[in-house]
Homo-oligomer: A and B are copies of this chain.
Amino acid sequence: MTTLTAAGIEPLFRLLGRYMPLDEADRAALSVLEVGPICQRDPRHDIAREGESPSAVRLLVSGWACPYKDLPDGRRQIVGFFLPGDFCDLNIYILREIDHSIGALTAVRYYEIQPQQFQAVIDERPHLLRALLWHEMVTSGIQREWLLSIGQRSPLERLAHLFVELYYRLQAVGLATGLRFDLPITQNHLAEANGLSLVHLNRTLQEMRREGLIELADRRLRITDLDRLKQVAMFNSNYLHFNRK
């Protein structure tokens, strides 16, 4: 038995299981997705560029990636985080071009999934289509919550909210142990995701530590007081649409 939490379709299976009960037949059907070769990419390299028309959907297996958009003068906004188990661009079945770029934040491994593989999965277990669409809707819900964060929450609240979100999402795919999880990205990435300057983000992090909300060192985050962190963030988990706590 391989390491389940970081390989193959296991994270995806866990994730979809948060939306509806799945059984072993579902897992077997999903394993069709991992027949192809696995792709790799190094940190700081792009997986896709805005304007491209990819023909395959990418399923992230390990590492972190992010969708981002940038402006002609270099400013850049990270508009989400892709964690293991996430699809990077499910919508290419509908749209012709992607309207954002996708970058590898760490070393990543992913499958490139052909349309017919998807079809095979859906044909075998039709209710999985619903789970996949569900995930897509959750992704959209997360974007709305980020808009609320960047538009209205203070930097401290914003960062607190992001950490709680990441905690729940990583927990859903089995990548959190207790209140600890790997946070393999730089402060610069956090700044770009939160619409803050690097300097100010750094100071906000220090404030969180001073307040006894988190510990962060060596790319590992520990939430020291989840209740208070949620309170500071005004966190309401409804937008993640997990059926079961």
Contact = CB atoms under 8 A, between A and B. Distances in A.
A238 B53 CA distance: 12
Given A99-B239, A148-B77, A137 B234 contact: no
Contact of A147 (B91, B146, B243): B146
Interface in A74-109: 75-77, 79, 91, 94-97, 99-100
Contact of A130 (B73, B94, B130, B234): B94
Nearest to A192: B151
Given A99-B144, A147-B146, A238 B51 contact: yes
A195 interface: yes
Contacts of A146: 147
A138 B60 CA distance: 23
A102 to B, nearest CB: 12
The 6 nearest A-B residue pairs measured at CB? A151-B195, A99-B239, A77-B151, A75-B152, A143-B143, A69-B148
